[in-house]
Structure 1
Amino acid sequence: MNFDSETAEAEWMYLYGKNAPTALGATVARLSSGVVFHMRYDPIDYWSQAVGFTEPVTADLLDEIVAFYQGLGAQSATLNFAPDLLPPDFAELAAARGLVETGAKMKLGGETAGVKSAVTDLRIEQVTAGDAAEFGEVVATGFGTPGTPLSEMIAASVDAPNSRAFAAWDGDTMVAGGVLLVHGDVGALHSGSTLPAYRNRRAQSALIAARAAAAREAGCRWVITETACPGPDRPNSSYNNMRRAGLDVLYARAVWRWTSES
């Protein structure tokens, strides 16, 4: 498969940054081919990320990214690069800037037409504006951050440009959600989560299928997504759902952490 698997991810991060409420202290900008996002009041220490780069990594690019975070007085950030963009001397470049490898994410993708359907006893539908606030809270709660301004940021994806939100309902109760960002011929599946009491009912498998179908209808040939790398002591149900849906592993992408003390 030969397609851009990074830019669509950067686009949904950019939209989240632009739609983040003031209470989160978010700043987002385009830098070179990617996006740099800083969240000063991040309740889960996740959102300050540099993502989406499509050109080879150089010392100058690393310095620009670090300067962005330093200029905002950031305490930390994570830098993400597809492995084929890293130069042979990247370890030395990273060490010189205090970047430390802290794990990896798995990038997955495939053709929209190849994503498998899934059966669930839950009702799957696209979210409308009237349900946006509930959607944001359900997804945030599934990620372990109920009652935080992250709910408002996620809720904004319901009406954001090129963005479509889908949810699962048990009767009249919304119990899970996920978002699709359409970018050219690539759809990014992101922000999928389920309320703890409703897990193991195939909500996310059905939401993957629904979003892939919507991406195909929007003209996307490909879908991409990412999740933490699983391991013997780190089971990952999201990864399992994606693989069962027919998505292929594209590559593992190292996570490089910068801190202001570097």
Structure 2
Amino acid sequence: MTTTVPAGLAELTEILAYGDFATSAPAALQQDLGLASLQVGPARALAVREDPSHFFNRAGGFGAEHPLTLDDLARVCDFYREQGVAQGSLMIAPPLMPANWAAQAATLGLTEGGRYAKLACDLDTMPTADPPPVLDPGWHIGTVGAHQAREWATVMMNTFGFTAPAMVELAASFVGRASWRQYAVRAGERIVAVGSVFFNGECAHMFAGATLPAARGRGAQSALLAARIEAARAQGCRWIVAETGAEGPGEHNPSLHNMLRAGFRPMYERPNWLWRA
């Protein structure tokens, strides 16, 4: 199986997903969260001032249409400074980094943070899962409607450690968006695992797969991966991309291995480059 998705498109699709997720919130909620966004050519930057984790202060899509420039990066750093956030991440695919990257990073005061594994699969050549992943008896998977948005969002955000009510409300607000499909695994009527997929023309992006701790190791994420892959195929996408934490020596990331079993193939490991106030 070959993975031919351009790195620029893979990175742009990821940041467009985050941007669309955040800006789907009502204006009053965006104001309460101190949410703002910036476009620099094809690249996007997002800032959420009231997110203490700094996770959503992220920028990406660099190099999607033209080579990365120091001016592009400086504009993003200025944006973080203007928004009053303490830290922001700049996500740059290694194949798209300029040859003088070390000097550029030093000029802007960027330091290397955690690393992510970027993965992709070519939907034109990837076979349909047969048989599909098996769930526990009494468990089932399906799409999520507006009436289930808050429960779904609570599972998603709390599992990742974002427990503030405003952050849960942010996640609930993007359920049903036109470029998205949200899925849930239910044990009876209770949601125990969630996942989304974002559609960007030829490329789709896996977003925020999460399982409650007591429900892990029972096939939920494999079922969610398979459902989202088929949704992207039905949407006419050619590729689907995802990212998860890279494994260091002696580490084991179950999400990474679930993706590999589902048919994803590694593209590269991408450091997060951190700007700090």
What is the TM-score of this pair, normalised by structure 1? Answer: 0.94
| 8 Å Cα contact 2:4/2:122 also seen in 1 | no
Query: Aligned to 1:120, which of 135, 139, 158?
Result: 135
Shifted more, 150-159 versus 100-109: the winner is 150-159
Query: Aligned to 2:51, which of 42, 60, 74?
Result: 42
Shifted more, 91-100 versus 52-61: the winner is 52-61
The structure-2 alpha-carbon separation of the partners of 1:39 and 1:242, relative to structure 1 and needing over 3 Å to count, comes to same
Q: 1:147 & 1:63 partners in 2: Cα distance? A: 31
Q: 1:224 & 1:190 partners in 2: Cα distance? A: 9
Secondary structure at the aligned position of 1:169 is classed as: strand
Secondary structure at the aligned position of 1:10 is classed as: helix
Q: 2:18 & 2:107 partners in 1: Cα distance? A: 27
Q: 1:44 & 1:196 partners in 2: Cα distance? A: 21
Structure 2 residues without counterparts, runs of 5 or longer: none
| 8 Å Cα contact 1:115/1:247 also seen in 2 | no
* Corresponding position of 1:7: 12
Report the AA paired with residue 214 of structure 1.
A
Q: 1:10 & 1:72 partners in 2: Cα distance? A: 18
Q: 1:75 & 1:163 partners in 2: Cα distance? A: 30
1:95 aligns with 2:97: no
Report the AA paired with residue 4 of structure 2.
N
Q: 2:255 & 2:179 partners in 1: Cα distance? A: 24
TM superposition shift of 1:133: 0.9
* Corresponding position of 2:165: 148
Shifted more, 91-100 versus 137-146: the winner is 137-146
The structure-2 alpha-carbon separation of the partners of 1:233 and 1:157, relative to structure 1 and needing over 3 Å to count, comes to farther
Give the paired residue count.
Answer: 260
**Structure 1 vs Structure 2: percent identity of aligned residues?**
34
Report the AA paired with residue 73 of structure 1.
G
Structure 1 residues without counterparts, runs of 5 or longer: none
CA RMSD of aligned residues (A): 1.5
Report the AA paired with residue 70 of structure 1.
R
1:30 aligns with 2:45: no
